[in-house]
């Protein structure tokens, strides 16, 4: 997917402040943070959104959550708390159509999300 920014980041073709990468996922700082800590975890494989994930992606989805937990610990927000968000589709707030998980923390995250 030449036009997908997250595919390009995963391939090393676009810059990002990468915090973690392995054979399945890449994690990096969001360029428009909504909290003091705002990280993204994206699969290297292009999956448009959670709606396109299937049973074959079950291990990958679980791996994304465990990487998020590891990054929360690494960034010092695990004890105070953090929020994980997957936006799905336009009405769900998805703007980059490559599945990704947001890690938000470093301050009290109010509910609803518009209060970020």
- Catalytic positions are 100
CB atoms within 10 A of CB 53: 17
3-state secondary structure 12-35: CCCCCCEEEECCCEEEEECCCCCC
For residue 78, give every residue at least 6 positions away whose Cβ sits within 8 Å of its Cβ, in sequence order, or none: 69, 72
CB atoms within 10 A of CB 52: 12
């Amino acid at each position: 997917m030449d036009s997908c920014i997250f595919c390009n980041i995963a391939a090393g073709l676009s810059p990002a402040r990468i915090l973690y990468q392995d054979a399945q996922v890449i994690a990096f700082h969001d360029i428009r943070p909504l909290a003091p800590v705002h990280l993204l975890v994206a699969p290297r494989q292009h999956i448009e959104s959670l709606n396109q994930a299937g049973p074959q992606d079950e291990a990958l989805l679980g791996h994304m959550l465990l990487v998020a937990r590891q990054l929360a610990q690494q960034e010092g927000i695990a004890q105070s708390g953090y929020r994980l968000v997957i936006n799905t589709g336009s009405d769900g707030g998805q703007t980059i159509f490559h599945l990704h998980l947001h890690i938000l923390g470093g301050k009290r995250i109010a509910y609803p999300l518009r209060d970020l």
